[in-house]
Every structure is written in C-alpha cells, then in structure tokens.
A and B are shown apart, each in its own frame.
Chain A
Amino acid sequence: MKNDFIWMAGGPQGSGVDSSANIFARACCYGGLHVYGKREYSSNIKGLHSYFHIRVSPSEVGAIVNRVDLLCTFDAESVVRHIWEVSPGGGIICDTGIIETKISSILSLPFAFIEEWNKSLNERGLHPETVGDLLDEVKKNNVRIYPIPYLEMLKEIGKEIGEEQLSKLTRMINVLTLGASFGLANYDKEYVEKAINMIFGKKPKIISMNLLALNKAYDYARKNFADAGINLKTIRTDEQRIFLQGTQAVALGKLAGGCRMQTYYPITPAADESEYIEENQVFEITGSEKTGGILVVQTEDEIAAITMAIGAALTGARSATSTSGPGFSLMAEGLGWAGINEVPVVINYYQRGGPSTGLPTRHGQDDLRFAIHASHGEFPRIIVCSGDIEECFYDAARAFNYAERYQTPVIHLIDKALANSNKSYKMFNPTLVKIERGELLTEADVVGKNYRRFEFTESGISPRLPIGTPGAVFWNTGDEHNELGHITEESMMRTRMHEKRMRKLEIADREIQEKERVNFFGDEDAPMTIVSWGSPKGAILEAMEMLRKDGLRMNFVQVRIPHPLPRKYIERILGNSSKKIAVEGNYSGQLAGIIREETGILMDYFILKWNGRPMSADEVYEALLNIVQNRAQTRQVLNGGS
C-alpha cells in the first residue's frame, strides 16, 4: 500500500459533509500532499446518510482503498455505518452525546442495512445495545476513540459570538470534526485556515465563526488526546497543482475545445457540469482584448436538449449536451437524426447505476452497449471513454474534433466515479488541446456553385457548410435523402447514401491514432493482460503496482475508444496473453463482449462490480491475486464500499 492516510467524514445529507471534506482536502493540497476524494450520497436532499472518503499521500493517488484511518462522525448513524471500515490503529472522532444512544433508535438506517448488520453482528458474536458498546468493541482491535463534547463546545462558541440559536451552531459540527482531525495530526493550522477562507468565500461572519470552531476543536484534541500517530506531514512542492472533480474537467475541456452551445436538462451527476459552465460562461479570448461566451440552455427535457444542440451544430457552432442514462434514453431519436444528417454533436454521458432511475446518485458502468447501439437504424458514431479526471479534460475537447472530422455524433462516456471524485493534478496543459474542424466550408467556397450538402466525394466525406451561409441553400431531413438533402426512397440512392455514411466509421478507424484509442501499461511480455475502460483505471494501476511488489507482472490495455474498436491492436496484445482479464463496472462484461464479437477473443476471467460503488485498489488487487494463484472463478464479483 501507498504511504497514505485515509480520512472519512460521515453525516446526514445537508450537514456539511461536502464542505468539511473540501476543506480537509484543500488543506492537505496546500500542504503539498496529493489527494483523491470520493463523494457518496443518496437521492435525497436532507437527512439521509452521506459520506466523503479522502485519501492523502505524498505521491499521486488515483483510487480509493476500502479502509479508513480516521473516521469523523457527525451523528450516531455514521458510527454504525462505517465502524468496521476503521483500520486497526485508526481512530474515530465522535460526539460524547451519542455514546449512550441506542442503536435501535437510529431510524434512518434502512431495512436492508439492518438485516446485513444483524447478520454481521451474529457472525461476530456481538450484541451491542448502544453506540458506546460498539465503540468498546472496536477498541479491542486497537481502534482509538476520540469523543468530543460537540454540544458544549458549540454552546461555548455561541456565547463568544453572541449566537444563541442552536440550529445555526450545529451547522459547525463538521468543522469541529475537522479541527479535531487536524489537531490529532498536529497539522499546520495555517493551511486549514486558508482552506476555510477559500470554501466560505465571501462570507466573513461565517468564516470567523468557523475559524473559532476549528481552533477550539484543534486545541481540544491536542490537549486531551495522546499522539494519534497520524501520517499527515506537509511537504514542500514547487509544482503547480489543481484540485477538481470530473464534471469540472469535462467543462474545462469543452470550453477549451471551442464549445459554444451547451444544452441540458437537470440530472445527477451531469448537471454539475452545465452549472459550472454557466458560472463561467464569459471568458477571455487569447490574444485579443475581447471576451467570448458560451450559451447554456436549460431545456424542458432531454429531447429538446439534444435537438437544440443539433440545431446549433447545424449553424457551425460547436455544440454539446450533457446527461446520464435516463436522459440519454430520451435522446435516442435525436441521435439518429444527427446520424442521418451527418451533424457533429457531442453528448457527454455520465453513467450511473441503471436500468431506469436505478441508483440515481451511485456509480455504474452499464451503458457502453447502449451508447454504441442507441437509436434505430445504422449510422456511424464514435465513443470516447475517459479513464480518469485528466483524460476527461482532453477527451472532452477532442470529442469535437472527431465529431467535426467525421460529421457524426460523438458520445463521451464518463461515469459517476469520475464525475464526483476530486483529485489533485499537476496543472493541465491547455496548449495540448488542438482544434480540427474537418471539411468545413465558407461562403467563398460555395458562391456560384451548386452546393450539395451530401455530395458523394472521393474522401467519403461531404464538405459541410453552416446553415445560414450566404450564397447557398441546402436541406436536411430525417428521411433518406439525395445529395441536395431532399427526400428520396429510390433504391440506388439509398444504397449509396447509406454506404457513404457508414463508411465514415471505417475512415475514422483508419485515421484516429492508436495513442488516442488505447493506453497500454505494464510490460508487453507479461503473461497476463487486463482489459478495461473508464474509471477502474486508477484502481487497476494501483493493484498492478501492488502485484509488482509481490513479484507478479501484468499488463493492462485501457480502451479509450471502444467504437470503432481498435481491433488489430487488441488482437495483437491479447493474442500474446495466456490469461485475459476483463475488469468492468457492470454485470455482463460489456467491453469483453464487444471484443469477443469483433475479434473472437474470449476473456478468461471477469472482475465485475455493480453495487453502485467504484472499484477500490485493494479489492481489484485481491481479485487479481486470486487469478494469479489459480483460486479464482471465471467471474469474481466485487462488493466493496458502503
């Protein structure tokens, strides 16, 4: 395992879990550490349990591990939910007021949880009645308990600032646990204060209240608890780093890539992206005094979202819509219209657990096949899958190049684990973003010529003209059409026009460079090959590193463009591998199925997960180890994460 420290904050939704985690993460970043944070929440506004899992390390981290070194609990439920995740030697910060709380009185615990909980207690031979009983139990595992009198401390603060309303004060429980965390670690308080200033932005009164709470809890922890042995030391760095979540990386990539029209209908976890773009919709234009702008339109539904984006794309603007599964289901017909009319439109598709509303706020990778096949009829499309937050940035920009070069929809597949995870990165490099608009004509190219929008050409691509260009007209229709864009049902024309469109997928397959389609990690001659796509990347890479320390070598093909599938490449790598392992966040091994369909190669092992939680490095490691040691079934199903 890495030289890391894992912190978790848990509490009811609306109690500041997010802001405390953000402050914690930033304070660590300011201190030169690297951070990876994962947010878990319910489809609920207030009251249901949520938590934030943060891993800190001197070097970059790309995944979570299922372990907690310091658990900050805002309420009794958080203790019950996460107590078994705390590692021996780790600690729990809790309210002295909940020690006597009866576990059976925690009403927000769902039935399914209670069933599992009772089973696990029986297995352990335990019969705790109160939260205190439970805490006593883990003390035997060398877990340290740090009880803090939240209420008394808040009342003291209230007196000092003249605030009597308890409801206002309890909002600072999150910061009390933060203060205690950093006090236990004896961490440089200056960084924490800086983070608080940053998160609470322009609200001086709130900042000063929270700083007071921070200091109180910090000092209390220093005074009352012995050295907690927490591995959290600042280090100096001159590197420029940013800290961001996946939706922000996508937004940045789209802006840099020249997106000028964004449509959306609110849905988790995609809406964050559109809102972030709207906040920043006016920007500077490099090399000029001028500013530019992107339109963000909240539509009445996803059908309007995609059709509006297509309309804008017809005028030549780079245009996109962003959604998740339920929304994309509604977009299917519009997608086909863009296909038959050869419109470059980008869909940023954030997967979550399905089908239907499924797990609205939880992770899933079940929509690869849907993205490839959605909408009736056949038409070319390109699917781009990002494996981490940095790839989200570059892929989001590049998606427009593919869309315009091949005049067809591009689906950028992202998932909840990327959308709602935060990670520190070396500053992105916007100069790596290039803009290629494909065969795009202007007035000068068409005046006096009889422009035909769907002309049969040698290259197989019909040069595109934005609607509204003076000197020409053309037609679009969702019906099959002739070169001018008028309806036709003539059999010869149908055969040729359909073929012209479909061939663009072959052109894309020929032209798109291998390095944009796959990432390869590990030794070429390693005997085992992992094949995956999307967010498991981080966990896989770390698991491989752990295996390497055990003297076990593997390689890993991360497919970034599963459609068109880089067939030859996959045949070459998998042809040399004696054990082929698919790792995917779904039930059926969708990419593995596509590979088999297109190459005939069958995977030997499947590591799968669909419980709504992202893969962690340790569970992937164990599953891989099982395979190496010949103890694995063909399918291993992971179930980590609470």
Chain B
Amino acid sequence: MALKLSDYRTQVFNDWCPGCGNFGILTSLQMALVDLAVKPSRVVIISGIGCHGKTPHFVNAYGVHTLHGRALPFAIGIKLANPELEVIVHGGDGDGLGIGAGHFVNTGRRNLDMTYIIHDNGVYGLTKGQASPTLKLGVKTKAMPKPNINEGINPIALALAAGFTFIARSYCYDVGHLKETIKMAVKHKGMALVIVQQWCPTYNEINTKGWYNGEDRIDPVTGKPIPRLYKLEENGYDGVVRKPEDVLPKTVAALTKAFEWDDKIPIGVFYQNELVSTFQERISQRITTYPGTPPAKEIIADNMGEPVTSIKKMLDELKVTG
C-alpha cells in the first residue's frame, strides 16, 4: 500500500507562529518521505533545540529531539549503530552554526550517509529574536537592541571547507523545490547539507517573504518585483563532481556562488561529490561484519545471558604464566 502524506503526520498540536517558514519545511519533508516511500519506522528525524527543534514531534516517524547544538552527534551515534535507518537531522542556524559549530565541521569530515537540514531564519527564534550566526554585520532585527556587531557566517562556504559532499540551498516557501532538494539529499551517498532560507515573521522583519520576492525592487519596465532568489541549474550551473579532476574547479565554482547574497541568492545544488568514501565504507574496511551486523544488530549474549564476545585472544596476550 502506497504511503500517504497523512502517514507521516502526528496528532501533536503545531504551535509555530502563524506564517512561520517552518511549516513549509515540515510539509516538504513529509512530501519527500512520501515520494521516497520509506516506512515511518525506518526513518529517524533528529533535531536540536529551537523552534525548528519541534519538527520531529510533527512527523510520524522515530523522533529524537536532542540538545541545543548537539543534534549531529546524536544522529551520528544512531546512524553508525544502525546504518539501515534513514537519518534526517534538523538544526537551527544558531543551533547548528553557533553552539554546535564544532560538530558541523567534524560531521563534514566524516561523510556519513545522512541528511542535515538547517532552518536558517537569521535569528534565535525560541529565545525571542537575538541575532543568529548567519545574520549579516550591521543588520538589526526588531528584537535586537543594537545592530549586529558580528559578521554573518557563510554556511555554504563553511560546509565546502568542512567536507560535506552534498551542499544545497532551498527556500521554505518553494515547497516543490525544497521537497526535491531533500529527496536528492537523502539519496546522496554521503553527508548532505540543505540550508533552507526560512522566514521568521515574528522576529526577522528583514528577510521576509517580500524581501525574498524582491518587493522592494520594482522593475521599472515591467512594474514587477525582481526576485532575489534564482535557481542555479536554470543558469547552466552544474556542481556535480564526476571525476577526480572535477573536485578543485567545482569547489571553486561553488565557493564563488556561495558568496552571492543580497541582490542574487542562488538556490539549488552547489556541490555534490559521491567519489568520497563514506564513513560506513571506511568502517567496513576495518570491521568486515559491520554492514551485516552493525552494533544495533549484533548478538551479545546467548539465551541464558552468557556473553558471546570472546576475549580469549586478548587474555592470552596478557598471560605471563601457565
């Protein structure tokens, strides 16, 4: 029986603010799961702390709402112990790029086969609107007493440097684009990052729907707004690495695109490289039984509770008499 959108919904009351960009992200995620046809009990949705952090509670799948900034290491533990599971991690921009930045960088290095979706709204939503690490220098959103004194982080550039092998950006209002991006990310063999430009109508009155639409810049000829967002692939951009020689030029191209902002904001896939070995593949080289019996599947005792792990070889090596 085909799975429907309702199969991925829970009864939990959704308490996001009206008009919050998280709704679009949630719907896109659920639509992607329908298309991917993975059973709810094979999916684990993991989140950090923030408004975004409630996402798992609205999805009918295994849900793990973790600590502020720590969604990634929790997720890595789950994925490594049971690589059969489809692990999708949601983080906030503060959560993932502020308090959890160390995990962000090190997750890139490992290249596990998982998906990480960052809800980038430029603010700390749940703590009532302070500046997040992606907010640009000098910008002042309404809850901030003074303009931002820090420069904003560039998550795409950071992800390239850290070694993520799938890096994309999408937009909370373009549900079709976001759904397809999530699907590509999930199917990608390796660590995938999707940065989602998300509105926070309550605290971020700068990067609003109108701003993304370009309503402040009317084309004098057509009299229509000039949208800020444009799709990378529509401009002939192709970030996919197909052979080792592609790595450097495609990285440079992606980095160049990563620095476009304000007037032109690219969405789509910046970079993808499936030539890099995954963490799971690296482990399998050391522990050949890993793919068949990862930690979650190993039998550790017989029916009587007798351990089955033999430590005889180690004890023999420590033997000094007898």
Contact = CB atoms under 8 A, between A and B. Distances in A.
Given A286-B309, A292-B298, A470 B41 contact: yes
Interface in B254-313: 283, 286-290, 293-296, 298-302, 305-313
Interface in A287-313: 287-288, 290-295, 297, 299-301, 303-305, 307-313
A239 interface: yes
A483 to B, nearest CB: 13
A238 interface: yes
B74 to A, nearest CB: 4
A477 B66 CA distance: 6
Interface in A252-306: 252, 255-258, 260-261, 263, 280-288, 290-295, 297, 299-301, 303-305
A397 B295 CA distance: 17
Interface stretch (A63-71, A380-388, A461-469): A461-469
A309 B70 CA distance: 12
A372 interface: no
B321 interface: yes
A579 B42 CA distance: 61
A20 to B, nearest CB: 17
Q: Which one of B64, B301, B309, B318 has the greatest number of beta carbons of chain A within 10 Å?
A: B309
Contacts of B105: 300
A131 B287 CA distance: 55
B295 A315 contact: yes
A467 B57 contact: no
A280 B49 CA distance: 37
A243 B78 contact: no
Interface stretch (B80-88, B165-173, B219-227): B80-88
Contact of B283 (A295, A303, A434): A295
B311 A283 contact: yes
Interface residues of B, number: 68
* Max chain B C-beta neighbours (<10 A), residue from A287, A437, A467: A467
Interface stretch (A26-34, A89-97, A208-216, A618-626): A26-34
B319 interface: yes
Interface stretch (A422-430, A557-565, A594-602): A422-430
Contact of B73 (A288, A304, A472): A304
The B interface, classified by DSSP as helix, strand, loop or mixed, is mixed
A260 B295 contact: yes
A283 B310 contact: yes
A433 interface: yes
A335 B60 CA distance: 27
Interface in A306-329: 307-319
Interface string B15-45: 0000000000000000000000001111010
A241 interface: yes
Contact of B81 (A32, A290, A303, A319): A319
B314 interface: yes
Contact of B75 (A261, A311, A433): A311
Interface in A549-592: none
Interface string B240-258: 0000000000000000000
B159 to A, nearest CB: 16
B320 interface: yes
Contact of A297 (B75, B80, B299): B80
Given A311-B75, A476-B64, A487 B82 contact: no
Given A243-B318, A301-B102, A479-B65, A472 B308 contact: no
29 contacts: A244-B318, A260-B81, A260-B296, A261-B80, A280-B314, A282-B286, A285-B299, A288-B308, A295-B290, A300-B103, A300-B105, A303-B103, A304-B102, A304-B106, A307-B73, A308-B77, A311-B64, A311-B73, A312-B80, A314-B64, A318-B300, A319-B77, A433-B307, A434-B306, A435-B307, A467-B62, A467-B64, A473-B61, A486-B12
Interface of A: 26, 29-30, 32, 237-244, 248, 252, 255-258, 260-261, 263, 280-288, 290-295, 297, 299-301, 303-305, 307-319, 333-334, 337, 397, 424, 427-428, 430-431, 433-437, 466-479, 485-487
Interface of B: 10, 12, 39-42, 44, 49, 54, 56-57, 60-67, 70, 72-82, 84-85, 102-103, 105-106, 283, 286-290, 293-296, 298-302, 305-315, 318-322
